[in-house]
Structure 1
Amino acid sequence: MAGSYDDRDGKIWMDGTLVDWRDANVHILTHAMHYASSVFEGERAYNGKIFKSREHSERLLVSGKLIDMDIPWTVDQIEAAKEETLKANGLTDAYVRAVAWRGAGEDMGVASAKNPVRLAVAVWEWGAYYGDAKMKGAKLDIAQWKRPSPETIPTAAKAAGLYMICTISKHAAEAKGCSDALFMDYRGYVAEATGANVFFVKDGEVHTPIPDAILNGITRQTIIAMLKEKGVVVHERHIMPEEMADFEQCFLTGTAAEVTPVGQIGDYTFEVGALTRDVSESYERLVRA
């Protein structure tokens, strides 16, 4: 499948019904379009099975509550919708996007309690998020923006509004020939990339930021558990930017990114080493098990 995302063959699940891909539309006065009242999940299906599917569905409902938006579907109903959409599109290896948002209704100001909460599921084929960087290592810019304090926005929600600075930062990175950008948080600590968590390796041990101002990714949690099972020491801690000079390896994790090695962040360089490759290969085996 290729081409514009609004002009493809296939089916999209919307509010309980499968509709033709090109007919999956919303009104221009949809609240989410104006005020970012939307949450979503990015998932991958491997060999017909969505990895950590139920955890993603559970997090979607939590994200909705965090932005004061109760999603009127249960986890079981969301699970069934995802399976139905995969089947309708004849896909077994696919990216899965579940999105909930406040639609058009009686409210069109900041408040939107009278507007219906809607839900959709779309699936499509999507290869390596960072292209050939998965083999040779991604190159990252350092974003000019910082991840916000949890006192200013619900950082634990996978919410559309939190991605505004991600888009700005990734555009700036791509203009410099980079694959992505790395954020610091509001305190100046290393935070995350625009759509992935970050890990560093030094002396056979792994270091990763505490998710106290960033999304605690499902893939992140999976990788930490995997590393511990392998006997690798994992330090979840605050990391200062200058510490990157002493780290030997670096990799990103996320549903789209999977496990992607990093070769450079700003002026800091890293080798695509054995531990990173082992984690990447182990994750690939796990999701296809």
Structure 2
Amino acid sequence: MAGYDDRDGVIWLDGELVPWRDANVHILSHAMHYASSVFEGERAYNGKIFKSREHSERLIASADALDMPMPYSVDDIEAAKEETLKASGLQDAYVRVLVWRGSGEDMGVASARNPVRMAIAVWPWGAYYGDAKMQGAKLDIAEWKRPSPETIPVHAKAAGLYMICTISKHKAEAKGCSDALFMDYNGYVAEATGANVFFVKDGEVHTPLADCFLNGITRQTVIQMLKDKGVNVIERRIKPEEMADFEQCWLTGTAAEVTPVGQIGDYTFEVGDLTREIASDYETLVRA
């Protein structure tokens, strides 16, 4: 497949659809130098974006957290996504909405006089972890930790927060792993580089408390699905050594959907009945 900068199609950019290859920004865009950008990753199924409005609401909240006043409302964003998805001609697709500080009068750390811009791109994207979607992903344990809420706006879906994710995933892939699992700043289990994590023990589900990382929309969806099935879900701080006693594990995320995990470091898990059931139920839900 061609690189992401060299494709046919259109991208929504600042209020209009432009040819894909022409959707460019200036090299002195503030976001390129200071990570002043936020984004949403969404999936469309059968021509409809799953939980689209929730993603648009979170986008605005993330922009607010980075002191970037949005020039578009939730309704504006929804209309723009619908227009872009329709123009793509795709029914099942990944939708990326990006908001950033562009180039303007400011080029230092401060950027209040620079415009806030938005773009939307849509493309086909299969299983995020490839064959691991069925067989169970293998995860490395990252050297970096998720930061304290006192150091950075951890609940924003901000580009800058993914710097250690890129580093950690590169190292994981070099070891033959699909991803890496982070601990938090206190040493408790946190999340993968772009997905939340769940564990199963004795019929109950345990998942890290989302107090220093993004409380994913897919995470919230799966928790509610489990509760509706009568499964006890415990959100708490999980010590790394507890992974030795967990029976099953899976990841959740818009890109990852529900992906079983077979191994994290030296800890192994079965791709069990509950994992397969919740993955199947999620697939049914998003296509309903």
Q: Tell me, yes or no, whether TM beats 0.5.
A: yes
Aligned amino acid, residue 172 of structure 2: A
Percent identity over the alignment?
Answer: 81
How do residues 81-92 of structure 1 correspond to structure 2 at under 5 angstroms?
81-92=80-91
Q: Structure 2: how far apart are the matches of 1:91 and 1:193?
A: 29
Deviation at 1:38, TM superposition (A): 0.1
Q: Which residue of 1 aligns with 2:138?
A: 139
Q: Structure 1: how far apart are the matches of 2:90 and 2:80?
A: 14
Aligned amino acid, residue 284 of structure 1: E
Aligned amino acid, residue 27 of structure 2: I
Aligned amino acid, residue 131 of structure 2: D
Q: Which residue of 1 aligns with 2:53?
A: 54
Deviation at 1:164, TM superposition (A): 0.1
Deviation at 1:157, TM superposition (A): 0.1
Deviation at 1:70, TM superposition (A): 1.1
Q: Structure 2: how far apart are the matches of 1:154 and 1:277?
A: 34
How do residues 19-34 of structure 1 correspond to structure 2 at under 5 angstroms?
19-34=18-33
How do residues 60-79 of structure 1 correspond to structure 2 at under 5 angstroms?
60-79=59-78
Deviation at 1:87, TM superposition (A): 0.8
SS of 1:59 mapped into structure 2:
helix
Aligned amino acid, residue 190 of structure 1: V
Deviation at 1:32, TM superposition (A): 0.1
Q: Which residue of 1 aligns with 2:113?
A: 114
Deviation at 1:3, TM superposition (A): 1.4
Q: Which residue of 1 aligns with 2:255?
A: 256
Q: Which residue of 1 aligns with 2:2?
A: 3
Q: Structure 2: how far apart are the matches of 1:152 and 1:94?
A: 35
How do residues 140-159 of structure 1 correspond to structure 2 at under 5 angstroms?
140-159=139-158
Deviation at 1:45, TM superposition (A): 0.1
Q: Structure 2: how far apart are the matches of 1:257 and 1:89?
A: 22
Normalised TM-score (structure 2): 1.00
**Which string of whole-angstrom CA distances, capped at 9 and with x for unpartnered residues, describes residues 17-61 of structure 1?**
000000000000000000000000000000000000000000000
Aligned amino acid, residue 103 of structure 1: G
- How many residue pairs end up in the alignment? 288
How do residues 117-128 of structure 1 correspond to structure 2 at under 5 angstroms?
117-128=116-127
**RMSD of aligned alpha carbons:** 0.3
Deviation at 1:236, TM superposition (A): 0.2
Structure 1, unpaired ranges of 5+: none
**Which string of whole-angstrom CA distances, capped at 9 and with x for unpartnered residues, describes residues 212-231 of structure 1?**
00100000000000000000
**Which string of whole-angstrom CA distances, capped at 9 and with x for unpartnered residues, describes residues 171-203 of structure 1?**
000000000000000000000000000000000
Q: Structure 1: how far apart are the matches of 2:131 and 2:40?
A: 25
Q: Structure 2: how far apart are the matches of 1:89 and 1:22?
A: 14
Deviation at 1:73, TM superposition (A): 0.1
Q: Structure 1: how far apart are the matches of 2:2 and 2:132?
A: 23
Q: Which residue of 1 aligns with 2:16?
A: 17
How do residues 239-254 of structure 1 correspond to structure 2 at under 5 angstroms?
239-254=238-253
SS of 1:73 mapped into structure 2:
coil
Q: Structure 1: how far apart are the matches of 2:260 and 2:2?
A: 28
Q: Structure 1: how far apart are the matches of 2:271 and 2:231?
A: 17
Q: Which residue of 2 aligns with 1:203?
A: 202
SS of 2:169 mapped into structure 1:
helix
SS of 1:172 mapped into structure 2:
helix
Q: Which residue of 1 aligns with 2:184?
A: 185
Q: Structure 2: how far apart are the matches of 1:20 and 1:27?
A: 17
Aligned amino acid, residue 78 of structure 1: I
Q: Structure 1: how far apart are the matches of 2:70 and 2:253?
A: 24
Q: Structure 1: how far apart are the matches of 2:240 and 2:252?
A: 19
SS of 2:18 mapped into structure 1:
strand
Q: Structure 1: how far apart are the matches of 2:285 and 2:53?
A: 16
Deviation at 1:71, TM superposition (A): 1.1
SS of 1:259 mapped into structure 2:
strand
Runs of 4+ in 1 over 2 A off after TM superposition: none
